[in-house]
């Protein structure tokens, strides 16, 4: 009896400690976000680049040269992205000034209609810009924009630094797992391989689905004669990496832009239906099919993790929430006591099963 009571007391103590420690961990993650965001982001980037590193190692390329080659590949990818941004910027800057005048007129009409609906009264002749955007608010927005650029630059530089350390194996993620989580090397290696495989699969599927979504948006803009098709395609591609929320934002913003440019008619309705159909096909049908059942996550888990990591880390948290959840789920699957939690995260009983998948 004494032994049973002692075991119960230990379990109770461990549970209470867990309840205290978990909020503390999340608080530290939020407080030290300037370190943890680049570290976690660099781990996922290093996982994506690890197949290239292994290939270079197999052909006996020195480690330093291998890291240099991979860095050049990444820089080339960013230069390509920069050229696309430059192209879309030139597209906007070279547009006719009449478009902006038309957009301003429609925007004013829309704001006036909303003011009448909500009973907001402005002085006659007063500009809505002066009414809604006071000088103090404008200065605050400039300050917040500057801080955002500064934080983005800092995170980018730290991420690049951590990626180089990970690729050169100055920081070894697999060894960290074997020393902190697993008591056997085989378990850590097996888990690391599964994490790498699933993360690469997730990013590949997400990249191509986002790419085809962006292409679909650009083609829809060209067909319906909507301005800035390259910009909207690039925007849809980038924002689609924010799981669930990004697809809604891209459709809503482009629909509002089309409303400003096109007179409300059947053309506007068909355009909104077209871009919505692109999102549904890519994000709602093809993406789950290509991800596969083994990678599935409960929709409730996805929403909770989006809210949690979005609250802790903001936009980077929204982007990293699903990869982090996948890693947590894979690790929980390795321990008998936590497999039930991993099963709930996987969505057993609530996952949308692919009807075309062969059993």
Nearest to 194 by CA among 342, 42, 340: 342
- Count structural domains, the chain: 2
9 within domain boundaries: no
Same domain, 197 and 332: yes
Say how far apart CA 228 and CA 253 lie, in whole Å.
Answer: 13
Provide CB contacts within 8 A for 233, sequence distance 6+: 214, 215, 217, 218, 221
Which of 298, 315, 213 shows the shortest CA–CA distance to 254?
213
pTM of the shown model: 0.75
73 and 184 in a common domain: no
Query: Is residue 230 domain-shared with residue 188, that is, in the same domain?
Result: yes
Looking at 106, 139, 171, the residue that finishes a domain is 171
Contacts of 303-310 with C-beta under 8 Å, sequence gap 24+, read 303/244, 306/243, 306/244, 306/245, 308/26
**Does the pLDDT of residue 189 top 80, yes or no?**
no
- For residue 279, give the nearest of 300, 258, 304, 254 by alpha carbon: 254
Tell me whether residue 8 is in a domain: no
**Is residue 112 domain-shared with residue 201, that is, in the same domain?**
no
Co-location of 188 and 165 in the same domain: no
84-117 pLDDT per residue, tens:
778 777 776 666 666 666 666 766 666 767 666 6
Tell me, yes or no, whether 25 lies in a domain: no
- The pLDDT of residue 17 is above 80: no
Q: Is the pLDDT of residue 138 over 50?
A: no
- Residues 164 and 302 grouped into a single domain: no
End-to-end CA distance of the chain: 50
What local confidence, expressed as pLDDT, does residue 162 receive? 85
What number is the average pLDDT over the span 181-201? 73
- Within a domain: 60: yes
pLDDT at residue 137 is higher than 60: no
In a domain, 3, yes or no: no
Give the model's confidence band at 327: pLDDT under 50 very low, under 70 low, under 90 confident, else very high.
confident
Q: What is the pLDDT of residue 210?
A: 92
Are 197 and 166 contained in the same domain? no
* Helical ranges in 119-265 per DSSP H: 128-132, 135-167, 173-180, 185-223, 229-239, 245-261
CA distance 236 to 307: 21
User: What per-residue confidence (pLDDT) applies to 97?
Assistant: 60
Domain check: are 223 and 327 in the same one?
A: yes
State whether 208 and 274 are in the same domain: yes
Q: Tell whether 159 and 236 lie within a shared domain.
A: no
Please give the pLDDT value at position 3. Answer: 63
Do 167 and 223 lie in one domain? The reply is no
pLDDT of residue 358: 42
- Residue finishing a domain among 144, 171, 198: 171
Rounded CA-CA distance 51/159 in Å is 19
Q: Are 216 and 282 in contact (CB under 8 A)?
A: yes
Same domain, 150 and 164: yes
Q: Is residue 145 part of a domain?
A: yes
Which of residues 171, 190, 207 is at a domain's end? 171
Lowest mean pLDDT among 31-35, 128-132, 219-223, 225-229: 128-132
> Please, which pLDDT band fits residue 260 given cuts at 50, 70 and 90?
confident
pLDDT tens digit sequence for 28-77: 888 888 888 998 888 888 888 888 888 888 888 888 888 888 888 888 88
Residue 162 lies in a domain: yes
Residue 16 lies in a domain: no
Region of 60 please: left (phi>0), alpha (psi -120 to 50) or beta: left
pLDDT value at 217 more than 90: yes
pLDDT above 60 for 357: no
Range of the structural domain that residue 86 is part of:
32-118+127-171
């Amino acid at each position: 009896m004494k032994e049973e009571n002692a075991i119960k007391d230990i379990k109770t103590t461990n549970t209470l400690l867990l309840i205290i420690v978990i909020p503390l961990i999340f608080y530290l993650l939020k407080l030290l976000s300037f370190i943890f965001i680049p570290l976690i982001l660099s781990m996922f980037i290093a996982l994506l680049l690890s197949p290239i590193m292994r290939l270079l190692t197999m052909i006996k390329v020195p480690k330093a040269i291998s890291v240099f080659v991979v860095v050049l590949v990444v820089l080339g990818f960013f230069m390509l992205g920069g050229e696309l941004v430059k192209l879309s910027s030139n597209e906007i800057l070279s547009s006719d000034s009449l478009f902006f005048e038309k957009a301003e007129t429609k925007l004013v009409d829309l704001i006036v209609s909303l003011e009448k609906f909500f009973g907001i009264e402005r002085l006659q002749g007063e500009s809505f810009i002066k009414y809604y955007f006071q000088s103090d608010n404008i200065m605050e927005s400039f300050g917040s924009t500057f801080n955002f650029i500064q934080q983005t630059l800092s995170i980018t530089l730290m991420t690049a630094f951590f990626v180089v350390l990970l690729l050169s194996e100055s920081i070894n993620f697999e060894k960290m797992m074997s020393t902190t989580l697993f008591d056997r090397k085989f378990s850590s290696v097996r888990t690391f391989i599964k994490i790498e495989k699933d993360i690469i699969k997730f990013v590949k599927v997400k990249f191509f689905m986002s790419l085809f979504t962006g292409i679909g948006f650009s083609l829809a803009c060209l067909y319906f004669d909507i301005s800035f098709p390259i910009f909207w395609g690039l925007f849809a591609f980038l924002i689609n990496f924010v799981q669930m929320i990004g697809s809604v934002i891209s459709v809503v913003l482009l629909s509002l832009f089309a409303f400003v440019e096109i007179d409300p008619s059947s053309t506007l309705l068909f355009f909104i239906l077209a871009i919505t159909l692109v999102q549904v096909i890519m994000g709602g049908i093809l993406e789950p099919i290509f991800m596969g059942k083994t990678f599935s996550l409960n929709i409730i888990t996805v929403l909770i993790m989006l809210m949690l990591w979005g609250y802790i880390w903001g936009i980077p948290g929204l982007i990293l929430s699903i990869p982090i959840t996948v890693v947590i789920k894979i690790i929980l699957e390795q321990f008998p006591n936590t497999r039930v939690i991993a099963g709930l995260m996987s969505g057993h009983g609530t996952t949308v099963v692919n009807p075309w998948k062969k059993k």
